[in-house]
Amino acid sequence: MRPILLIPGYQGSGPGHWQSFWESNLHDAKRVEMPNWDFPHRADWVEALDSAIREAGQFTPPLLVAHSLGCLAVVHWARFNLHPIQGALLVAPVDVERAGTLAVLEDFAPIPLFGLPFPSHVVASSNDPYTSLERSRAFAEAWNSRFTDLGPCGHINTASGHGEWPRGEALLKDLM
C-alpha cells in the first residue's frame, strides 16, 4: 500500500470532516499534525509537512491529500523540497491573497504559481466563500494540475455537508 498523508487547513479538520473519516477508514492514511492549527506559520507548516513526507516515504513515496490552507502548505513545500511523492489531491485551495483574508493566514502569501513536479488534481467549488472558481482554475493551470469543478459545494467541508465524501474518494482513486 502507498502511504496517504492528509493535510488539513486552518484550524484542522474536525471529527465530521471528510479528512477525519478518511483517516479512520483508509488503510495507510495519516493526518499531518501541524505545529499550530489556529495560528499557522508557513515555515513551520512546511517543515512539519517535509518531516511527515520523509517519514512516510521511507519505502514508498506518499500521496498527499490537502484541504484549504493545507493545499498552500503543499505548494510552498514543493518549491524547495525534492522528496518524491506520488501526487497530490488539492481540495478547495484557499486564496490568501484576496481582500478580506484573515490576517492569521497572510503568512502563506504570496501563493506560488509554478508547475508542480508531481501529478496533481485541484478540486474546487463554484460557491466557495474563500476562493473564486476562476482563481481555483488559475491555480490548477499554474500548477499544471488536473481541474474539477464540483459545482456549488461551498468550501467542501463539514459546514457544506461533506462528511464521508465518496466522490472525493473516487477522485483520490483516480489520482492513484
3-state DSSP: the chain helix, strand, coil percent, rounded to 5? 35, 15, 50
Check: CB of residue 8 under 8 Å from CB of residue 19. Answer: yes
Place of cell 490552507: 69
Report the chain's C-alpha Rg in angstroms. Answer: 14
Question: In angstroms, what CA-CA distances link 151 with 13, 65, 154?
Answer: 22, 20, 9
The helix/strand count (H/E) of the chain reads as 5, 6
Single-letter amino acid, residue 148: T
DSSP 118: S
Return the closest-CA partner of residue 95 out of 12, 10, 33, 24. 10
Q: CATH fold of 4-175, please? A: Rossmann fold (3.40.50)
Per-domain residue ranges for the chain? 4-175
Give pLDDT tens digits along the chain (176 positions): 689 999 999 999 888 888 999 899 988 999 999 999 999 999 999 999 999 999 997 788 999 999 999 999 999 999 988 789 999 999 999 999 999 999 999 999 999 999 999 999 999 999 999 999 999 999 999 999 999 999 999 898 777 767 787 787 878 888 87
What's the whole-model pTM score? 0.95
Check: CB of residue 131 under 8 Å from CB of residue 95. Answer: yes
pLDDT at 23: 92
pLDDT at 1: 67
Residue 173 CB coordination number (10 Å): 8
CA–CA dist 115, 118 (Å, integer):
9
Return the closest-CA partner of residue 78 out of 106, 107, 46, 56. 46
